Amino acid sequence: MRRTFRGYVVLLALCAALAPVPSPRAVAGAVPARAAEPLPLERLFDNTAVGEDTRPDAADFDGSGASLSAQDLANAGWTPGRTLTVRGAHLTWPRRQPGEPDNVRAAGQDVRVTGRGDALAFLVAGTGGDTVSGPGTVSYADGSRSPYRLAAPDWRTGPLATKAVALPHINTPDGQLAEKARLYVVTVPLVQDREVVSVRLPRAGDLHVFAVSVRATTPGWSGSWAAATSGLPAVGPWADRTVRLVVHTSVGGPRVRLRFDNTFAATPVRIGRATVAVQATGARARGVPVRLSFRGAAGVDIPAGAQAFSDPLAFAVPSDTNLLVSFHLPRTVSAAPVHRLAVQRSYVSGPGDHTADRAPTAYTTVLTSWPLLTGVDVGGGPGSVVLLGDSITDGDQSTMDANRRWPDVLTARLLAQNVVPHYGVLNQGISANRVVSNRYPGDGVSTDSGGVSALNRFDRDVLAQTSVRTAVVFEGVNDVRWGATADQVIAGLRELADRGRERGLRMLAATILPCEGEARCTAPVDAERVAVNTWIREAGVFDGVLDFDAVVRDPARPTRMLPAYDSGDHLHPGDAGLAALAESVDLGLLQGP
């Protein structure tokens, strides 16, 4: 017994002598070992969501045998291994064939994820019949961690207004159902300037994760122009046509990139070629339009619900100037994501690719909306201010083609001074938009272009905008005019403030303008408006207040606008009133973190 023990000790000593000596760096960075090292998400796949229509029994997403249709996904442009850009995040649809495991049921797994950015993006769906959520943890290269909470709406009952894509069918063992299946992209905040190394998923078995990535920040870019998608109306149809949009820059820069969004769509859209130029007059370019590229190619296919950024282009973008953005649509487009109220004439050509035309001859049709194009970014600059609003921010009743919206006047003020940075100003106003309820349901071709609610579009239209520093929320009049209570609007505004600050934004709110004389602005409605304004001024929830109500109201009758500022419809200020709003802004309030 003693001899056996002595031999065991000798064997241990020999093993120790032969073992490699750890480096000083390895010793210094030693951390307690986990049960398992983080693995790439695809190595953890344990559920099969996608099957062929002819073999529905090969997939079981929700435990009852129901599944997603591989054919529907392909028709939407969501093919295996394809990288989709949604809300600025690059997410790869699983490179798996139908019937193979393609997602993870969240059960506390440690997933290898790397990068630096402002948010972690998850491609998810729930299968429990309702939104499923749970807490998780992000680990960083310096050994620190941060908590997050991930919520996944249900794939069959979740809101269409916030989905990334909706598919027209659900496969079951008993046959295909004409019922929409939803997939969602959800982002959670990161500690910026720290390198992410892994993510621990929540423990929530009905929460399915298809992809995860770090959304990179864009410090080399500032947003100069933006427009929010307000609906998916019928258009054209456009086949082999070139659309030439006129957009007005805020801040300028030496480089440019464009963003196209296929928001709300059910099928991909093809952009054959695209160019940018400074406008001379109408559809005439000041010089020969310069060609853009997309990952080195002349054109790009944008899947349903996704977006595409053009490659950076050395092109001097002037500040406070009209650009012409032209893009050729080689395939038939009969419905498109659109910002309806452009207050700006743009153009559509006859047949052919006329993106490189300097002359306006081919552009025979006038367009007063902005389809597909949602952003113009410029190189450099201090970042951007986003103005989230309704028709008053959108420029309703301002002079056509004159760029007299209050965001345009604010741009001119910023450019004319040197006290605060020359931020880009991004107008995310949508005519008829509301804080807490949708006008457009968020899916399908529709004649309603009032957009999804501010709460439902906040992630896309504010948090995902380029280098945003500060956001101004100027909404609520449409809510109270259509029956919402002050308490409902206040709850919505509070949520917006919380969500913005959680992401490191400076959050400002503007008071709601008086509108006596407009048919829906009754005395009870005005009482709700006054209650919301009192809360905005006194609650201290926002980082600052723009008291637009005080700027335009008639001192002799505070329930209405001063006649000099009224466009005539008693709801929207005219050019003079919009200028008064912009002139009243304390520019120092815009200086974000």
A 10 A CB-CB count for 302 gives 23
**For residue 592, what pLDDT is reported?**
75
Supply the DSSP symbol for 463.
Answer: I
Token look-up 């899916």 returns: 443
Cβ(156)–Cβ(178) below 8 Å: no
| H/E run at residue 185 | strand 181-189
Instruction: Compute CA 458 distance to the chain's CA centroid, rounded to the nearest angstrom.
Output: 7
Segment 337-386, tens digit of pLDDT: 999 999 999 999 999 999 999 999 999 999 999 999 999 999 999 999 99
Supply the DSSP symbol for 225.
Answer: E
What is the full per-residue pLDDT of the chain (593 aa) written as tens digits?
333 333 333 333 333 333 333 332 222 233 334 457 999 999 999 999 999 999 999 999 999 999 999 999 999 999 999 999 999 999 999 999 999 999 999 999 999 999 999 999 999 999 999 999 999 999 999 999 999 999 999 999 999 999 999 999 999 999 999 999 999 999 999 998 999 999 999 999 999 999 999 999 988 999 999 999 999 999 999 999 999 999 999 999 999 999 999 999 999 999 999 999 999 999 999 999 999 999 999 999 999 999 999 999 999 999 999 999 999 999 999 999 999 999 999 999 999 999 999 999 999 999 999 999 999 999 999 999 999 999 999 999 999 999 999 999 999 999 999 999 999 999 999 999 999 999 999 999 999 999 999 999 999 999 999 999 999 999 999 999 999 999 999 999 999 999 999 999 999 999 999 999 999 999 999 999 999 999 999 999 999 999 999 999 999 999 999 999 999 999 999 999 999 999 999 999 999 77
Of residues 567, 254, 523, the one with CA closest to residue 400 = 567
Instruction: Compute CA 291 distance to the chain's CA centroid, rounded to the nearest angstrom.
Output: 26
Instruction: Compute CA 265 distance to the chain's CA centroid, rounded to the nearest angstrom.
Output: 15
Question: Sign of the C-alpha dihedral, residues 565, 571, 575, 578?
Answer: positive
For residue 168, whether the previous peptide bond is cis, meaning omega lies within 30 degrees of 0, is no
Euclidean distance between CA atoms 577 and 230, whole angstroms = 24
Kindly write down the DSSP assignment for every residue of 524-540, as one continuous string: HHHHHHHHHHHHHHHS-
Residue 485 is encoded by which pair of tokens? Answer: 């209570």
pTM (2 d.p.): 0.93
* Residues facing residue 209 across a β-bridge: 104, 124
Residue 473 is encoded by which pair of tokens? Answer: 């929320």
Of residues 391, 489, 388, the one with CA closest to residue 432 = 391
Cβ(251)–Cβ(362) below 8 Å: no
Euclidean distance between CA atoms 93 and 70, whole angstroms = 12
**For residue 25, what pLDDT is reported?**
27
User: Can you give the residue ranges of every domain in the chain?
Assistant: 41-215, 222-509
Residues 6 or more apart in contact with residue 550 via CB below 8 angstroms:
511
User: What's at 310, amino acid-wise?
Assistant: S
